[in-house]
Structure 1
Amino acid sequence: MIVAFLNQKGGVGKTTLALNVAGELAGRGERVTLIDADPQGSALDWSEQRGHEGLPRLFGVVGLARDTLHREAPELAKSVDHVVIDGPPRVAGLMRSALLAADLVLIPVQPSPLDGWASAEILALLREARIYRPELVARFVLNRCGARTILARETAAALADHDPPLLATSIGQRIAFATAAQTGRLALECDDATSAAREIAALADELIHLRIGGSTP
Structure 2
Amino acid sequence: MIITIGNSKGGVGKSTIACNLASMAAKENKKVLLVDADPQASSLNFRSIREADDIKATAITTPTLHKDLKEFTNFDLIIIDSGGRDSVIFRSSILAADILIIPVLPSVYDIWATSDTLEIVQEAKIFNEKLITRFLLNMVMANTIMAREALQALEEKKEIPILKSQLGARSSFKNGIISGQGVIEHAPKSKAASELAACYHEIMQLGDF
1:97 partnered with 2:92? yes
Structure 2 residues not aligned, in runs of 5+: none
Tell me, in whole angstroms, the C-alpha distance in 2 between the residues paired with 1:89 and 1:31: 26
Tell me, in whole angstroms, the C-alpha distance in 2 between the residues paired with 1:111 and 1:195: 18
Q: Which amino acid aligns with 2:128?
A: R
Q: Which of 64, 69, 77 is equivalent to 1:82?
A: 77
Query: Sequence identity, in percent?
Result: 37
Aligned length: 208
TM-score computed with the length of structure 1 as normaliser: 0.91
Instruction: Tell me which residue corresponds to 1:148.
Output: 143
Tell me, in whole angstroms, the C-alpha distance in 2 between the residues paired with 1:199 and 1:74: 32
Q: Which of 102, 109, 118 is equivalent to 1:107?
A: 102
What RMSD in Å do the two structures reach over aligned CA positions?
A: 1.4
How far has the Cα of 1:193 moved from its partner?
5.4
Tell me, in whole angstroms, the C-alpha distance in 2 between the residues paired with 1:49 and 1:91: 29
Question: Partner of 1:33: helix, strand, or coil?
Answer: strand
Instruction: Tell me which residue corresponds to 1:205.
Output: 201
Q: Deviations over 1:67-119 (max 9, x none)?
A: 1111012322x111010000011142011101110000000000001111111
Displaced runs of 4 or more, over 6 A: none
1:41-190 equivalences under 5 Å are 41-50=41-50, 55-76=51-72, 78-161=73-156, 162-190=158-186
Q: Deviations over 1:42-78 (max 9, x none)?
A: 111111122xxxx2122111111111111012322x1
Q: Quick check: 91-100 or 157-166, which moved more?
A: 157-166
Alpha carbons 1:176, 1:193 under 8 Å: kept? no
Tell me, in whole angstroms, the C-alpha distance in 1 between the residues paired with 2:129 and 2:188: 42
1:32 partnered with 2:32? yes
Alpha carbons 1:4, 1:104 under 8 Å: kept? yes
Structure 1 residues not aligned, in runs of 5+: none
TM-score computed with the length of structure 2 as normaliser: 0.95
Instruction: Tell me which residue corresponds to 2:191.
Output: 195
